[in-house]
């Protein structure tokens, strides 16, 4: 008996269910390598970091030119410099230094991680197909009502388009639990950071083309 092809529910722009869609096996029946997915997520997050955190050690703070008081006879603890980490305004003992958090993951590994994350989403039933309503101008209420009708109000949703137009983008950016992406820039972290993946038919097609390229 053959393996059942992964499917996703399909909804119209009015929120009514229109049956199901067969999902491409190269995207949604791939091996799920958890370590590779973790590597892709770590690489993405590290590459977003500026790495500019810094603080001065005792050699770099101003002051420290002379001994604050004589060694003996004052009744106070010995002190050699006001730049000591023990003093207010002194240097930091082991300060952070600017560094590069960038890590490299080759294109083949990135794609395997992406397909693994898509497969994991499909196994959880977290993939649906929805084409957005045609909008002449931004209308957040229309998008919010569509999401509510489909039953995704309480979920963290990632909506992937082939090319997202200005009206659709402006209609979704004020919805707190909804984020958008284009298939050509979709990455593993975004998939792992959502509860439900919503694809337009164009987004699904171009995503398959990206994998097969």
Other beta carbons within 10 Å of 180: 20
Range of the domain at 79: 55-95
141 in a structural domain? yes
2 in a structural domain? no
pTM of the model: 0.83
**Structural domain tally of the chain?**
2
Instruction: For residue 133, give Cα distances in angstroms to 12, 118, 138.
Output: 8, 25, 11
Does 2 have pLDDT greater than 50?
A: no
Spatial separation of the C-alpha atoms in residues 174 and 6, rounded to whole Å: 32
Percentage, residues of the chain above pLDDT 90: 78
Whether residues 33 and 122 share a domain: the answer is: yes
Whether residues 190 and 90 share a domain: the answer is: no
Locate tokens 């101003």: which residue? 62
1 in a structural domain? no
Whether residues 32 and 118 share a domain: the answer is: yes
Calculate the dihedral angle through the C-alpha atoms of 28, 33, 39, 43, rounding to the nearest 10 degrees.
-10
Does 46 have pLDDT greater than 50?
A: yes
Does 3 have pLDDT greater than 50?
A: yes
Whether residues 84 and 148 share a domain: the answer is: no
127 in a structural domain? yes
Instruction: For residue 132, give Cα distances in angstroms to 10, 19, 139.
Output: 12, 17, 12
Whether residues 187 and 206 share a domain: the answer is: yes
Whether residues 129 and 159 share a domain: the answer is: yes
138-169 pLDDT tens trace: 899 999 999 999 999 899 999 999 998 888 88
Q: Give 3-state DSSP helix, strand, coil % of the chain, rounded to 5.
A: 35, 15, 50
């Amino acid at each position: 008996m053959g393996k059942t092809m992964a499917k996703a529910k399909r909804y119209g722009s009015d929120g009514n269910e229109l049956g199901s869609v067969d999902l491409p096996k190269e995207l949604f029946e791939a091996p799920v390598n958890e370590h590779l997915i973790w590597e892709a997520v770590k690489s993405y997050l590290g590459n977003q970091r500026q790495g500019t955190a810094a603080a001065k050690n005792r050699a770099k703070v101003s002051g420290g030119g002379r001994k604050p008081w004589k060694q003996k006879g004052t009744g106070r603890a010995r002190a050699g410099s006001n730049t000591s980490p023990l003093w207010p305004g002194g240097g930091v003992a082991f300060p952070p230094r600017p560094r590069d958090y960038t890590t490299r993951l080759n294109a083949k590994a990135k794609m395997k991680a992406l397909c693994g994350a898509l497969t994991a989403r499909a196994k959880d039933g977290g993939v649906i197909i929805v084409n957005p309503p045609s909008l002449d101008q931004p209308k957040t209420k229309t998008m919010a009502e569509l999401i509510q009708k489909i039953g995704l109000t309480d979920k963290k949703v990632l909506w992937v388009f082939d090319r997202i137009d200005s009206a659709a983008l402006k209609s979704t950016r004020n919805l707190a639990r909804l984020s958008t992406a284009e298939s050509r820039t979709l990455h593993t972290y975004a998939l792992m950071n959502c509860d439900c993946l919503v694809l337009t038919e164009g987004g699904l097609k171009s995503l398959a083309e990206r994998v097969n390229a």
